[in-house]
Amino acid sequence: MENSLLLQDKAINTIRFLSADAVQQANSGHPGLPMGAAAMAYTVWTRHLRHNPVNPDWANRDRFILSGGHGSMLLYSLLHLTGYDLPLEELKRFRQWGSKTPGHPEYGLTPGVETTTGPLGQGFANGVGMAIAERHLSAVFNRPGYELIDHYVYGIVTDGDLMEGVASEAASLAGHLKLGKIIYLYDDNRISIEGSTELTFTEDRGKRFEAYGWQVLYVPDGNDVEAIDQAIQQAKNDPRPSLIVCRTHIGFGLPTRQDTAKAHGEPAGEEELKGAKEKLGWPLEPRFYIPEDVLAFFRQAVHRGADEEKRWNELFKAYQKDYPDLAGEFERRLKKQLPLRWDEGLPEFPADSKGMATRAASGKVLNALAEKLPELMGGSADLAPSTNTWINGTPAFQANSPEGRNIHFGVREHAMGAVVNGMAYHGGVIPFGATFLVFADYMRPAIRLSALSHLPAIWVFTHDSIGLGEDGPTHQPVEHLASLRAIPGLTVIRPADANEVREAWKAAVANRDTPTLLALSRQAVPTLDRSIFNPAEGVHKGAYILRETSGKKPEVLLMASGSEVDLIVRAGEQLETEGIAVRLVSFPSWELFEKQPEQYRKEVLPDELQLRVAVEAGVPMGWERWVGPKGIIFGLNRFGASAPYKVLYEQFGFTVEAIVSAVKKLAGNSRG
């Protein structure tokens, strides 16, 4: 017993000093969290976490989230020690160019990292999404004697996480849904960057989580492995999500910096780190010291994980015999493969001058897709009737109906974004989240992280412009398209009519490597007559020629996205009656267009056609790239107003007459 305790203490100190040495060598980073939370992490990783370091993607592994991503060296130390493909050399290259140990954990870069964390609260909420996916998949696929999906979501969360509103929203939702597979250890060190949490964070956190419907447990000493272990066991036996409040000491062992803000976000310094090693009986040299018996102890995870996955594989083989159809579906989802002919038979919308709102067309396409794609699952921030994102024929996902595919997120856009990301991280589902485009501001950190992490999340945003009308400037997203297009890796698609919506959804579903955002109208827009205009499949190329004047070389190019395509169509018709040949270009997605070969891009926007007009009811920033020096942009460099949408378009100059006048002036100057 004594020897095992000595080994345990050595193992915990190995985590501490591997982390602190890496921060010191980089001369950058956060030593406080790893040193203070090492015992908590040790307990989870050696006594509870089911994982296979040789196969980080094993479907039924437990997920571990370090929500306080600034303490990333804690996670990197654990990954190296337990046998993931993260050599010690990578720890020595912490925060350096090209290393697999960046300052905050990045999904897809470092083996074993389950989620990109750092922006506080996001990891907390990602775990809620993972638990939703786990609960749903277990309801769909598990059968008596076959618990294919049965795993926990563990996390270490911090004071900062709990201060962030996104975590509060997600915790409220998790409590309502009774997501009992969530077990979070709260690193209650009561220190933030500016000093003691007494400065700003004096509420009773435990009572708050009890009010959310969580089980709250307390461990008075965050270094007490046995107490932490018992609390985790108790958490596993409760149907509610659990928060284990562990009283810890930031920078544990540092002679003068323990329990101070100085321990948070800067290297300890040579003398301070030396003092900590002497205090805890750790060798001063070499740096990155790992005792052989400690490494052997941690590396047991490799054999244990292989055995656990082997047992699961044997279970799955028996499942295949008893439930071959379910097994085939399960494998398809794990491989992220789409069903054969999933994109066939989707709605074809007939030409209609009155048309329909693109949000309405989206609802029809979504439901057609949902029949082909049982993994399609998501919901709205209390706006399903407005965003048209309810999947018919399936119940809401609730504690008593986890097979449901419709999620009531409530008025919680911050959480919805991060939860959808968590579902995408987990896999087995194609998640979407919906709200009004203006509320993308509430979700921007999650949208950005979905792009950074290459997640196939689908964002469905309606009420995309001044076209929503009377609700006024608070709800009219004039700057949002430009700001969202600025996010690297996010594909923004603003379809012009119902058939473009169909193709936009197909593009979103087919994109398994990055997120896609659909910007949809509240107001009706005409459904174009595709016997006259080119097919809507052009959406997949980002921009395409709708039509051009027959028999004449075009003098002017009119381009637009979304609702405003109808404006350039009508303006083009009038210009043709006045003898001006035009080319009309629907431009739903800059990002998709940028991916096309240069030859195609020049076919759509030829260099010789310099007289160009772009029309979009939002800030014009960025359109100059496509319009060029001789063109005109019809945009909106101000907030909107409250009035019927047709009045707004007229008052703000988005009219056929204004476009025709501008084109005639352009053409006249050119001819002159």
Which residue numbers are catalytic?
Answer: 413
Q: What are phi and psi of 578, to 5 degrees?
A: -100, 10
Spatial distance between the Cα atoms of 373 and 509, rounded to a whole number of angstroms? 10
**What Cα–Cα distance (Å) separates residue 191 from each residue in 33, 73, 259?**
10, 19, 7
- For 492, other C-beta atoms within 10 Å of its C-beta total 24
Q: Which tokens in the block code for residue 54?
A: 């040789």
Q: What are phi and psi of 19, to 5 degrees?
A: -65, -50
How much of the chain is helix, strand and coil, in % rounded to 5? 45, 15, 40
CB-based contact 246:222 (threshold 8 Å): yes
Please report the DSSP string for 145-156 in residue order. TB--S---EEEE
Helix (H, G, I), strand (E, B) or coil at 396: strand
**What Cα–Cα distance (Å) separates residue 456 from each residue in 15, 406, 432, 609?**
34, 18, 9, 37
Phi-psi region of 630 (alpha: psi -120 to 50; beta: other; left: phi over 0): alpha
**What Cα–Cα distance (Å) separates residue 439 from each residue in 12, 136, 143, 364?**
44, 27, 40, 23
Of 480, 657, 488, whose CA–CA distance to 573 is shortest? Answer: 657
Sheet holding 458-462: strands in order across? 406-408, 376-380, 430-436, 458-462, 516-519, 491-493
Spatial distance between the Cα atoms of 506 and 363, rounded to a whole number of angstroms? 13
The identity of residue 624, as a single letter, is: E
Kindly state the DSSP code that residue 71 receives in the 8-state scheme: G
Residue 26: which residues within 8 A CB-CB, separation 6 or more? 94, 95, 96, 267
- For 1, other C-beta atoms within 10 Å of its C-beta total 5
Sheet holding 632-634: strands in order across? 544-548, 582-586, 556-560, 612-615, 632-634
Q: Which tokens in the block code for residue 377?
A: 């699952």
